[in-house]
Structure 1
Amino acid sequence: MQIFYETVELLGCLLSYLFTLYTSYIFFNYKSTLYKRISLLLSVVYTPLAYDLIIPFSNTIVSLLAMFFVYIVICICFNGNFLIKAFIVLVYNIFSVCISNLYFSLFSVIFHVSINELIAGRNALRSCLILSLYLFEIILLFAISKIIKRNATAHYNVLELSITFLFLLIDFVFAIFSFLILFYYPNSVSIVKIVCCSISILCVICALISIYLIKKLNEHYLHNIDNIAIKIQLDNMVEYIKNTQNSNSEIRALRHDMKNKLLAYNSLLQNDNIDDVICDIKETLSLPSLNEPLSYCTNTPFNILIFNKAQIAKGYGIPFNCKAIISPQYTNLKLMVALSNLIDNAIEHELTEPKEYRNIKLSLIQDINSINIILENYISNSILTRNPTLSTTKFDTIQHGFGINNIRTLINSINGIVEFYEENSSFFVQIII
């Protein structure tokens, strides 16, 4: 049994290291996937370093050595300021100590025993209590990470988070149940102690696996976003090629008509019918000119996107005005997905407005430090008053666009902000990156 208890102590050291990395990940980003793997592999160095039976020093010195080692790992593997990293390591350790003291004090009060009786020596009771403590810390850290990163790249809905927290809570209840069995039946046979400790260990492992799986679901979602972005870009390119081919056909037809007209002019001039030629020229000049641009900006992907949306809008009789200044080298698929969906939303709304008031304006300006996008469309009645959260009313959001919440997620994932406001019978969407 002693080997089993020492294994639990080693597992506790390992979890403490992983929790510190997870805390750092809440506030910083890994430099690369390689550094992430290195930080995980270095756990084989930290675990024996923090294990009090291997390092022949007092607990205080062992804790300080472990903190310094974790700080070095975080400095090497994460981006960010060194002083802030030191502050994060210090705050986490204070947090961990405080939570541990509160946790043990709570159990001491509930069961009317001293803290020393709960955690003295290596035994099954201590093992279950420590494992339940780590489960409690997992729940707290997961909750903190979701609160702090609620506007970051992660995409979770309330149901997903509720299920995850429920799963973690059930794990915690099982771990506490194992502790209660050992507390009220301290003279249980060894097999009971092993089973109870094993249940606690499995609860911790299941909790870590559940967090890992929901992280993978988020990565899968973001991967789907990238696939959708590429699909939209390909669809836009196909439409652009079709429009270009139609334009080329029209140009060839125009050249043919011009040739015939010039031949007619030549014949009339040879017969001294100058007045007829002048009259026909004046009639041609009186025709309304076509002001539709073929190019909105020098950035090919964004030009294709804007051109196609302008064609769709004008096909519905909606005036579409655009001013775009953006570097030819700039690429951002997620921004294109968001902009494409926002323009689709604007076109869809304008179809509900009277024809004489329909209008869409797009401004896309890039300067040295940022990109500022303003999309404006006419509204006869306030949208924000009727639907402040701009929640979608469509059942199939895949076939009918992302919806505003997903657009916010996309913009937040590229470190941008998006705002919606109304002014003078116009609805505005502003994106700043």
Structure 2
Amino acid sequence: RHDTKDVYYVIDNYLELNDIQNARKYIRQMIDIADDHIIFVNTQNNTVNAIINSKLTIAKSFGIDATCLSINEFTGIDDIDLCRLLSNMLENAITATANIKLNAKQINLKIISESEKYTFLIKNSIDQSVLKENPKLHTTKTKFDSHGYGIKIIRDIAKKYNGHCDFYEESNMFCCLVVLIPNK
């Protein structure tokens, strides 16, 4: 949603200035980016495929090395919850990683299923401790009224599925771990 709104704002600005040439140029650039859409995962769930593939393609456009390892089926988890969970986990990781000063930036997503529970683990590069500076993970964006809901959404979905979420750091990576235990 953020990406789409930003694109529309840019195009609207060019059109308001009657700068048709740059508006067309910008639209062509956005089409080229869309054509560069990378397939990171191909599960049996189209929602999961769409979110992961689009978000990790965006990560690549920021120069972030992105990888994904995922199970194939997501039985017992609502598609809306999968969309909200993955969107927020990936958006947070991309935003944080894009803003650091490292040359080698990476995001790794791993989704596994065992013993009737699903584990979602996303790791992203950090150049300094996030938890030391911001242990409660409050938003660092200036518009508090429209930002800062991602962590709450992730926690709420974990709770809804009788699971938990944890945030920790290891080997210069920030980690978000979410475990879901769907009702059968």
Give the structure-2-normalised TM-score: 0.69
2:158 to 404, 411, 419: 411
How do 1:28-427 residues align onto structure 2 when only pairs under 5 Å count? Answer: 246=35, 292-293=38-39, 295-327=41-73, 331-332=77-78, 333-396=80-143, 399-400=146-147, 402-427=149-174
Question: Which structure 2 residue ranges, 5 or more long, are not aligned?
Answer: 3-30
Which secondary structure does the structure 1 equivalent of 2:64 belong to?
Answer: coil
Q: Distance in 1 between matches of 2:85 and 2:148?
A: 9
Q: 1:362 to 1:246 in 2, by over 3 A?
A: same
Deviations 1:199-256 (A, max 9, x none): xxxxxxxxxxxxxxxxxxxxxxxxxxxxxxxx89xxxxxxxxx89x837xxxxxxxxx
Give the structure-1-normalised TM-score: 0.32
Compute the displacement of 1:432 (Å): 0.7
Residue 277 (structure 1) aligns with:
none
Alignment-mate amino acid for residue 305 of structure 1: I
Q: Distance in 1 between matches of 2:139 and 2:74?
A: 34
Which secondary structure does the structure 2 equivalent of 1:322 belong to?
Answer: strand
- The RMSD of aligned alpha carbons is 2.8
Q: Distance in 2 between matches of 1:407 and 1:398?
A: 18
Q: Distance in 2 between matches of 1:383 and 1:328?
A: 31
Q: 1:347 to 1:293 in 2, by over 3 A?
A: same
Alignment-mate amino acid for residue 303 of structure 1: N
Contact 1:391 1:405 in 2 (8 A): no
Which secondary structure does the structure 2 equivalent of 1:349 belong to?
Answer: helix
Q: 1:314 to 1:399 in 2, by over 3 A?
A: farther
Percent identical pairs in the alignment equals 30
Greater Cα offset, 385-394 or 395-404: 395-404
* Structure in which a larger fraction of residues adopt strand: 2
Q: Distance in 2 between matches of 1:395 and 1:295?
A: 34
Question: Which structure 1 residue ranges, 5 or more long, are not aligned?
Answer: 1-230, 233-241, 248-291
Q: Distance in 2 between matches of 1:358 and 1:386?
A: 20
Which secondary structure does the structure 2 equivalent of 1:319 belong to?
Answer: strand
State the aligned residue count: 150
Q: Which protein, 1 or 2, shows the higher relative CO under an 8 Å CA cutoff with sep ≥ 6? A: 2
